Structure 1
Amino acid sequence: MTTIAVTGHIDLTEKTSALVRTALVELLRGYAADGELVGVSCLARGTDSLFAEAVLAVGGRLAVVIPSRDYRHARVRPEHAPVFDRLVKAAHDIVVLPIETGGRHAYEAANSVLVERADRLVAVWDGTPPTGRGGGTADTVLEARAAGVPVDVVWPDGAERTRREHHGGAAGGCAV
């Protein structure tokens, strides 16, 4: 069994989402062929949900880490709620962290759980360095590497983010 967690940007353009979806399916297909694949995600919009859908598409099982008790109602945007709910229903394992209110501390804790559970980490990441605020994509990549967890970076040619300023990768990980 291979357990792969995900971190990545939430602010992907529509074109980038399509490129990332294809790249994730190709990457995960290789791991699924070697045996049982478990994908671990917080199901945030963008990368997290694309990854979860790719895990299911290649026949893997989905494990979900929910950063706080109020995450679904307070942090999941209405336009993302149907996707979030569908993926939660498809999950074989759901962990809700014992944190009442979502925010940077909850995302950092959730990202740490992702890294702890992972044999590998997939990072949909443009390489932007961390800001020092914690909880972002770059921070999670650094945490995984420090823990000795191999990281597969996915950033297809032509990929872009929707924001002009990317804030050091802070828009990623389990943030919504």
Structure 2
Amino acid sequence: MPRIGVTGHVRLAEGTAELVYAALTATLAAHGPVHGVTCLADGADQLFARAVAALGGTYEVVLPAADYRTVVSDVKSFDDLLGKAVRVDYLPFATSGPEAYFAASDELLRRVDHLVAVWDGAPSDVVSSTANVVRTARANGLPVTVIWPAGARRA
């Protein structure tokens, strides 16, 4: 079973979640049932977890910090998805922030053989950005599939 990770934008404009979910579902379906790895952030990560589950796959979660639940926007949705994970690991950070976020993404990259990036292609020098995670994956020779459907926008 392929092990596929996700990175992507957290804030998606109205109507974009539906476009991204459809693109994720189509991309993942091409791999057959998959085992996903996600940090379960708002936006792309949670859409990915839903798509993996809808296609009959499983997923594990790498959480960046002990307080991560306090920074998500929809705790009920987060808790629901977290409860469906086959494995949940917390990194040894007490508080969430760029360093913890990138450490979680770096751990995710170690666990997968393919990365799906819900990314508009914009460059960024922020350590925890989608652009930096994609750059790191590519530098390590990890295959990356970028998804940014026509009409998608960041909030």
Same fold (TM over 0.5): yes
User: Which residue of 61, 80, 83 corresponds with 1:86?
Assistant: 80
Task: After the TM superposition, list the runs of 4 or more consecutive aligned residues in structure 1 that deviate by more than 2 angstroms.
Answer: none
Q: Would you say 1:50 and 2:47 are equivalent positions? A: yes
Q: Would you say 1:159 and 2:123 are equivalent positions? A: no
Q: Would you say 1:70 and 2:63 are equivalent positions? A: no
**How do 1:160-175 residues align onto structure 2 when only pairs under 5 Å count?**
160-162=153-155
Q: Would you say 1:100 and 2:94 are equivalent positions? A: yes
Return the letter of the residue paired with 2:142: V
Q: Would you say 1:139 and 2:132 are equivalent positions? A: yes
Long gaps (5+) in structure 2: none
Provide, for residues 155-175 of structure 1, a one-character-per-residue CA deviation record: whole Å limited to 9, x for no partner.
Answer: 00111111xxxxxxxxxxxxx
- With structure 2 as the length reference, what TM-score do the two structures score? 0.97
Q: Distance in 1 between matches of 2:29 and 2:116?
A: 13
Identical amino acids, percent of aligned pairs: 48
- With structure 1 as the length reference, what TM-score do the two structures score? 0.85
Provide, for residues 68-124 of structure 1, a one-character-per-residue CA deviation record: whole Å limited to 9, x for no partner.
Answer: 011113x223xx111100001000011111111111110010010111111000000
Long gaps (5+) in structure 1: 163-176
**How do 1:6-45 residues align onto structure 2 when only pairs under 5 Å count?**
6-32=6-32, 36-45=33-42
RMSD: 0.9
Return the letter of the residue paired with 1:47: A
Q: Distance in 2 between matches of 1:86 and 1:112?
A: 25
Q: Distance in 2 between matches of 1:70 and 1:29?
A: 33
